[in-house]
Structure 1
């Protein structure tokens, strides 16, 4: 909660880390550049006085001209050093910012990530974060320079004639007033832009990811209209905002730099009445021309500062999100690999889906969770895998509450494979190796053979060097699941959770996986969630979950005798299998070539 009180500058310095001194150097060299930029004004003043007085020492003028050129070179050099340092510091800030967001996402509950649309999350971490690079890299040196330079010039004008110095600023408050009118409702308008842009990103991601379903069900027109509407609103929010700003912005840009409107008439009047010398009048005119433009540049940064604050609010919203309650190191050491749930309650948002779950899974056994869809089986698996924290109750592993174990150590202890597996846009070899980063190629290939992946991998274009594609898009659903299972097995965790891990596999591949899993999980604690009850009939213990409660538990035989719900599910499963088998046999008999018409192979 303390982090929420940090200012934007405090966050910037936090992200900059050890490179924050680069910002200090950037500001210091920017100030030096300003000094080099102001010195020529003093030299010009001296040259004008000497010229008016009739001094014809051209060599002296040449030396002063060379000095002005050197000052200009010094200003350019300091500006280059300043912007170089600020850019280096900014890149470290953005890098640190993105790293911290990625680290944070690994520590927050899965529900937080699931609730945030992927388009919005990606937009904040990439486009939004990247958009503040220019502001961070330029605002410190350039804001410093553009603010200090006119201050030095103004103080110099005061030494010449305080009246003319103040008169030269008459148009500035008028311009600033117009600029402030333009900034009215800035935060509201920018929030609207962010909201509409997020909606556009989310709609685009949804449209692209769902294009197959959209086309299959003839929803292309309605879905595309949603995308077009989001795109139109995303563009119009900018246009409408700019229209509101047109008049005040134009007035600000016209009025602010018009110092001549006041300097020339008043200065001419003072010269005529003898209260201002002609040389000082000329000097005032020259100085007033360069007085306001830097201030306009400073004003232009206000928009970037407001944008940066809004973006940092989004970023810090991620960084200050509630994390899983875990210590940095294990407070106790688990005695074994048993898993116990005591009075576990959990809900998504305000809806409770688990109502006091009690469950014991002995170490080294195979335990299955079965039940109707939506009963809470996968939620229990995710809680055991520590993807969420329980609302009430406790989960123990080896007799230790998992909230007393470090998240890093616990992740090493548990391998979780769901029905929706993600593969990275990398080679098959590297996707499997993610289970254990130090594994050799030989170990990866060995586990692939044991998990039934090797043969189909070798049939791919480049074998283990084949790129899986974004989200594993170059592979079929069954192939992705088999790679994910191989990855989990390579991890060699003592507790393995298979959440419908064979959901997308055909019977032949499922049989291979069942055999492979049986070999690979010997001596491990295996938790299986499956709708195909025949695959878990030999489990040491089966828990029947219904409407967020444990309905009953026991072996397959015990449940068939004593539990009506399980018996009903089993009978429904067997009847479906018999129907499918009968239809398959009929197709084979009708085919004179002895080949199945659905797969064109001998069956």
Structure 2
């Protein structure tokens, strides 16, 4: 029953169409058994001493009609079934993509990205293949067997009972084969995902593998994963195989037992020749759909493993959707007794702070103290465990996520660009932006000059993750996005930390323009740059240790003064020849 529930869950809004396709399969199966009935009637008439030729020809015409009707129904069923399969898979990919988008990063990051790509691509591909081929033949097989047995029971219930017993004998083999497929099917899908993950890391990390001369060891690990996948594929094919073959043998034995009893009944004159021939012909045909069903059933159980993985993602709790919302009055952000932990590791402890509207606030502290976590909580990449974060006096959980994102721009250390043109990478900040607006944003971000120097200008493809551009160029494109979006809140995570002095100058100049008349929350490590800033929060031991202006903190004993002293000391360092 759980298998059927999973199928209905995946089908979603296409249940009515699915039931129609099942109905067509039933009609098709009924026509197959009806053709067998007409064939028996022809035999019955032909074995008479004086057969009625007109009646025989009429029956042949009826048989021809049923066969043509079978072809017609089969065509409709195949067409509607294929359309249904690919409509479901399209809808399913859209559902998965939307659902993953709505997941908090805290849930999303618990799995490797290969897990989600595997579900989105491979698992849905498994569903497509088996749903379009195995389910139709399984449904047709089940109903064909049912209708044929019903018809044979009408001819002679004794022989039909013998055939039914032969079918029931294969149930234990199906049961154990099912257990094997469920167990090894899950292992096989997991091995496939691990193979995808390792191969992805092997390709993406090639630069680092070469620099540390680690390619051979990493390749051996990849080879091990490939061998493991091969082994699990072999087990999935071989272990249930003998049980299926034994089922085929019992099918044949069931038919032989039926023949034995049929001949005895015929010799006792309790079975006429017509029915004997009918059971010999139709009875043997009965086991053909059963054999097909045995193979398809196990494939469907393998498909069920893929469906379970898809279902697990779709059942993950997403960010709550808010139907309607009034416009925000300002962009002040408040943390009220906010605590946050991830994987049982405490990252923030009872944080209370205020980021004033239209002003610059700075987060300072040692690495790993929770500065980036605070920015992630504001953007709802993570969900607060206790306490509240308020924007304009409203809990951010009560603000529609789309509305929240409209009010926030982010410029982080690690800029990610899509494998697309520079133009499209900037335009994602504002989909309906004109070319003039994008050019203006690039001017403000100091990146128009280098873009125009490229051979294809704005149409230049940046490569996966922006690999064809330098760190400074990527950062300036990220700032151009922020200019184009023009959101009232700006989150900056040390955007100049890994840049050379020239790029740092251009980026700082761009950020200076960008921060005007905005609520800015910035993570900074270069403390000398903070002169004149009034709102500085020093984080230590996962909580607010100090707060105040640069002038106040630089004179007060504490972490800020210590960090400033160490930075000033580091400026006197020199490279000395040995």
Where on the TM-score scale, by shorter chain, does this alignment land: which range?
over 0.9
- The equivalent of 1:393 in structure 2 is 387
- The equivalent of 1:382 in structure 2 is 376
The alignment's TM-score, normalised by the length of structure 1, stands at 0.90
SS of 1:337 mapped into structure 2: coil
Asked whether 1:408 is paired with 2:402, we answer: yes
Report the aligned-residue RMSD.
2.5
Asked whether 1:48 is paired with 2:46, we answer: no
Q: Quote the Cα distance in structure 2 between the aligned partners of 1:536 and 1:68.
A: 91
Match of 2:80 among 85, 88, 91: 85
8 Å contact kept, 2:10–2:307: no
Match of 2:365 among 340, 361, 371: 371
Q: Quote the Cα distance in structure 2 between the aligned partners of 1:6 and 1:406.
A: 36
Give the stretch that moved more between structures: 305-314 or 480-489: 305-314
- The equivalent of 1:176 in structure 2 is 171
- The equivalent of 1:272 in structure 2 is 267
Q: Quote the Cα distance in structure 2 between the aligned partners of 1:460 and 1:51.
A: 87
- The equivalent of 1:8 in structure 2 is 6
Q: Quote the Cα distance in structure 1 between the aligned partners of 2:393 and 2:36.
A: 79
Match of 1:145 among 130, 140, 150: 140
Q: Quote the Cα distance in structure 2 between the aligned partners of 1:552 and 1:239.
A: 62
The alignment's TM-score, normalised by the length of structure 2, stands at 0.93
8 Å contact kept, 2:333–2:390: yes
SS of 1:224 mapped into structure 2: helix
User: What's the offset of the Cα at 1:65?
Assistant: 3.1
Match of 2:438 among 437, 444, 458: 444
- The equivalent of 2:126 in structure 1 is 131
Q: Quote the Cα distance in structure 2 between the aligned partners of 1:461 and 1:221.
A: 38
Match of 1:205 among 175, 184, 200: 200
- The equivalent of 2:19 in structure 1 is 24
Render the CA deviation track for 1:312-370: whole Å, top value 9, x for unaligned: 3222221222233553333x653311112122111112111111222111111111112
- The equivalent of 1:314 in structure 2 is 309
User: What's the offset of the Cα at 1:6?
Assistant: 10
Q: Quote the Cα distance in structure 1 between the aligned partners of 2:94 and 2:324.
A: 22
SS of 1:545 mapped into structure 2: strand
Q: Quote the Cα distance in structure 2 between the aligned partners of 1:324 and 1:201.
A: 29
User: What's the offset of the Cα at 1:69?
Assistant: 2.7
Q: Quote the Cα distance in structure 2 between the aligned partners of 1:538 and 1:126.
A: 52
SS of 1:235 mapped into structure 2: helix
User: What's the offset of the Cα at 1:61?
Assistant: 4.2
8 Å contact kept, 1:325–1:389: no
Match of 1:545 among 533, 539, 548: 539
User: What's the offset of the Cα at 1:288?
Assistant: 0.5
User: What's the offset of the Cα at 1:258?
Assistant: 4.4
Alignment CA distance shift 1:116-1:367 (3 Å):
same
Match of 1:529 among 504, 523, 528: 523
Alignment CA distance shift 1:499-1:120 (3 Å):
same
User: What's the offset of the Cα at 1:486?
Assistant: 1.3
SS of 1:168 mapped into structure 2: helix
SS of 2:259 mapped into structure 1: helix
8 Å contact kept, 1:259–1:288: no
Q: Which runs of 5+ in 2 are unaligned?
A: none
Q: Quote the Cα distance in structure 2 between the aligned partners of 1:176 and 1:215.
A: 56
Alignment CA distance shift 1:9-1:183 (3 Å):
closer
- The equivalent of 2:300 in structure 1 is 305
8 Å contact kept, 1:345–1:392: yes
Render the CA deviation track for 1:191-222: whole Å, top value 9, x for unaligned: 22233222222222222222211111121122
Match of 1:167 among 137, 151, 162: 162
Asked whether 1:340 is paired with 2:340, we answer: no
- The equivalent of 1:570 in structure 2 is 564
User: What's the offset of the Cα at 1:579?
Assistant: 4.5
User: What's the offset of the Cα at 1:12?
Assistant: 3.0
Asked whether 1:511 is paired with 2:509, we answer: no
Matched residue count: 576
Give the stretch that moved more between structures: 526-535 or 63-72: 63-72
Match of 1:354 among 345, 348, 356: 348
Give the stretch that moved more between structures: 386-395 or 66-75: 66-75
Asked whether 1:74 is paired with 2:35, we answer: no
User: What's the offset of the Cα at 1:279?
Assistant: 2.0
Match of 2:473 among 451, 475, 479: 479
SS of 2:410 mapped into structure 1: strand
User: What's the offset of the Cα at 1:127?
Assistant: 0.5
Q: Which runs of 5+ in 1 are unaligned?
A: 587-603
